[in-house]
Structure 1
Amino acid sequence: MIRQAVLEYDHSNGALDQLYSLIGNRDALVLKGFNGYGEAIRVSPRLAEIPSVRFKGECSDEEVERLKAHRPDVWIAVGGGKLIDTAKRIAFTQSVPLIVIPTLVSNCAAFTPLSVIYGEDGTYLRYDTFPVVIERVIADERLLRDSPYDYFKAGVIDTVAKWFEARYISGTTSRDAGIQSGLSLAAQCGALMDLSIREDDFRHYGTDIRSIVDHVLAIGGAVGGFGDAGTRVAVAHAVHNALSRFDSTHHWLHGDKVGFGLIVQERLTSSEDASFLENWLQAIAAPTSLDQLGIRFDQIDELVDYVVEEMTIQGIHKIEDAERLKEILRNLQEIVYK
């Protein structure tokens, strides 16, 4: 099935100024985060005039239930990925439109027809897909160029993962038009590894960075929209989900843990790209060992069990040799597997 969630995507210097004519006479309600909302107000002070409600921090069933008490004509999501996923879930449940204003360049939540659901403690539970209609994604350059660099870097890793995971699931070509379209977009995401993502480049916000931002926020989300299960998640995200069960990993960003999962995935398949991927992750100071992620050697068996369980939950074909997975993780405990 092909699902696309966004009617319009506006990435420009001043995009936020169009919000108020877009709302028109409708009753709007802003779902706001703790940090990005203030930055959005700095860029566009009129945003403070729109009624708002505070997001508590997790895209959980409990949070969705709490916020459903509000019934605006249109929701406006101002924040990061978990906030946006929460707003999508509510908008779908209430059959009302949604406007998304991402304040971080950290993931493709602004463009995906799904919400990743976590427990109140931050543990991954599942993802829900649905036919959501986002009226517009407002990606304002003035807001994004000053956003936290670490989130941008993690967002690039998560976007690059689209290629490796889509390839793991479906190979490099498909006779299915949707999957082939997803693979083509995923290949574009993989090509981001060839571009510089240094912080000074990000702050300069030149042509390459604009393209990278578009891939993180939009193109990466369209991969799964076209390819559906044929391009969506594979071992890397199963490893991410398994790692999220350990408290020591909670301070790492989503993309950081996905990047480590990519190392595991590519080693499992004896990929020729494994070393190139590992060197790239090391060069941008992403975690490449379990020690960096706070996982002890004596926790590896438990981690393997969780990875296998997550792959079963996601419908990813099972690992034939769990001992090989253990061996890879043991060698990734302190140093990158050689």
Structure 2
Amino acid sequence: MIRQAVLEYDHAADALDRLDELIGARSVHVLRGQNGYPTVERLLPSIQTYPATTFRGECTDREADRVDLDGADVLIAVGGGKLVDTAKLVAVRNGVPLIVIPTLASNCAAFTPLSVVYRDDGSYDRYDVFRVVIERVIVDARVIASSPYDYYRAGVIDTVAKFYEARYLSGDASTDAGVDAGLALSKQCHRLLELELTETAFRSYGEGTRYAVDHVLAIGGAVGGFGDAGTRVAVAHAVHNALSQFETTHLFLHGDKVGFGLLVQESLRGSEDVARLRAWLETVEAPTTLEALGLSTDEIPFLVAAVMRETTLQQLPEPIDYDYLKIIIENLQKSIYK
């Protein structure tokens, strides 16, 4: 099944200036974050006039239930990926359209018809896939360029993983048109490995950064939108989900944990890209060992068991061997891999 969640995607230096026209005479409720929202408020003072709920930081059922739209015609989400995923839950449950204003280029939540839902303790719970109408994703270059660099860096890692996970699931090509389109888009995501991923390049917001931001926020999400289970998530995200059960990993960004999961996945495949990926992740100061993620050797069996549970929920081309997975993760723990 092909699922695309977004009607319009507007990335420009003045994208916020068109919000009032888009809203028209409709009543609005805003779900706003605590960090990027002041930048949006400064650029578009009229957003202060709408009723708002301040997001508390996790996409949970409890958080979605807390948002009272009070009869609003449209919901506006202003924030990062977990806030946007929460807003999608709220929009679906209330039957209202959604407008997304990302304040971070950290993941593809703004472009996907799903929400990653966590438990109240911060551990991963599930994916909810649904029909959701996002009227417009408003990517204002002034907002993204002023956002924290580390989120952008982690977003690029997560987007590069789209290529490797799609290839893991479906190879290099498919006779299914949707999957083949997803694979083609994932190859564009792979090109982000070639870009200069520095804070200086990010702040300058040149063509390379703009290209990367569009892939992090939109193209990466379209990979799974076209290919569905044939391109969406594989071992790298299973490892991320398993890692979320360990409190020490809550300090790390989504893309950082996916990056480590990517090393696990490509090691399982015996991929020639493992060394290149490890070197690239080290260059951008992403964790490449369990020790860096705060896990000890004693916790490896619990992590492996959690990864195995996650992979049983996914349509992988072949089952994973527990013992081999354990060896791979043990090897990634050793100092020779730091």
Same fold (TM over 0.5): yes
Deviation at 1:315, TM superposition (A): 3.8
Residue 314 of structure 1 aligns to a residue whose secondary structure is: coil
AA aligned opposite 2:5: A
> In the alignment, is the contact (CA less than 8 A) between 2:80 and 2:106 conserved in 1?
yes
Name the stretch that deviates more: 271-280 or 136-145. 271-280
Residue 8 of structure 1 aligns to a residue whose secondary structure is: strand
AA aligned opposite 1:252: F
> In the alignment, is the contact (CA less than 8 A) between 1:7 and 1:134 conserved in 2?
yes
1:90-143 deviation per Cα after TM superposition (whole angstroms, max 9, x unaligned) = 111221111000000100000001000001111101101111110000000010
Partner of 2:158: 158
Partner of 2:9: 9
Partner of 2:60: 60
> In the alignment, is the contact (CA less than 8 A) between 2:308 and 2:320 conserved in 1?
no
Partner of 2:335: 335
Residue 267 of structure 1 aligns to a residue whose secondary structure is: helix
> In the alignment, is the contact (CA less than 8 A) between 1:77 and 1:87 conserved in 2?
yes
Deviation at 1:37, TM superposition (A): 1.0
1:44-55 pair list within 5 angstroms = 44-55=44-55
Partner of 1:34: 34
> In the alignment, is the contact (CA less than 8 A) between 1:238 and 1:310 conserved in 2?
yes
Partner of 1:245: 245
Task: State how far apart, in whole Å, the 2-side matches of 1:197 and 1:99 are.
Answer: 29
AA aligned opposite 2:269: T
Residue 250 of structure 1 aligns to a residue whose secondary structure is: helix
Task: State how far apart, in whole Å, the 1-side matches of 2:69 and 2:41 are.
Answer: 25
Residue 312 of structure 2 aligns to a residue whose secondary structure is: helix
1:99-248 pair list within 5 angstroms = 99-248=99-248
Task: State how far apart, in whole Å, the 2-side matches of 1:265 and 1:110 are.
Answer: 26
AA aligned opposite 1:133: V
User: Structure 1 residues 202, 278: closer, same or farther in 2, change over 3 A?
Assistant: same
AA aligned opposite 2:239: V
Name the stretch that deviates more: 31-40 or 318-327. 318-327
Does 2:285 match 1:285? yes
> In the alignment, is the contact (CA less than 8 A) between 2:97 and 2:135 conserved in 1?
yes
AA aligned opposite 1:187: K
> In the alignment, is the contact (CA less than 8 A) between 1:288 and 1:336 conserved in 2?
no
Task: State how far apart, in whole Å, the 2-side matches of 1:271 and 1:153 are.
Answer: 23
User: Structure 1 residues 156, 336: closer, same or farther in 2, change over 3 A?
Assistant: farther
Task: State how far apart, in whole Å, the 2-side matches of 1:317 and 1:243 are.
Answer: 23
> In the alignment, is the contact (CA less than 8 A) between 2:6 and 2:111 conserved in 1?
yes
AA aligned opposite 2:28: A
Name the stretch that deviates more: 44-53 or 247-256. 44-53
Task: State how far apart, in whole Å, the 2-side matches of 1:103 and 1:238 are.
Answer: 26
Deviation at 1:43, TM superposition (A): 2.1
Partner of 2:261: 261
Structure 2 spans left out of the alignment, 5+ residues: none
Deviation at 1:272, TM superposition (A): 1.1
> In the alignment, is the contact (CA less than 8 A) between 1:308 and 1:318 conserved in 2?
no
- Identical aligned residues as a percent: 60
User: Structure 1 residues 306, 20: closer, same or farther in 2, change over 3 A?
Assistant: same
CA RMSD of aligned residues (A): 1.3
Deviation at 1:38, TM superposition (A): 1.2
Partner of 2:326: 326
Number of residue-to-residue matches in the alignment? 338
Task: State how far apart, in whole Å, the 2-side matches of 1:211 and 1:56 are.
Answer: 31
Deviation at 1:73, TM superposition (A): 0.3
Task: With the length of structure 2 as denominator, give the TM-score of the two structures.
Answer: 0.97
Residue 59 of structure 2 aligns to a residue whose secondary structure is: coil
> In the alignment, is the contact (CA less than 8 A) between 1:311 and 1:317 conserved in 2?
no
> In the alignment, is the contact (CA less than 8 A) between 1:113 and 1:130 conserved in 2?
yes
Task: State how far apart, in whole Å, the 2-side matches of 1:169 and 1:114 are.
Answer: 19
Residue 214 of structure 1 aligns to a residue whose secondary structure is: helix
Deviation at 1:39, TM superposition (A): 1.7
Task: State how far apart, in whole Å, the 1-side matches of 2:21 and 2:32 are.
Answer: 20
AA aligned opposite 2:99: I
AA aligned opposite 1:299: E
AA aligned opposite 2:195: L
Deviation at 1:68, TM superposition (A): 4.7
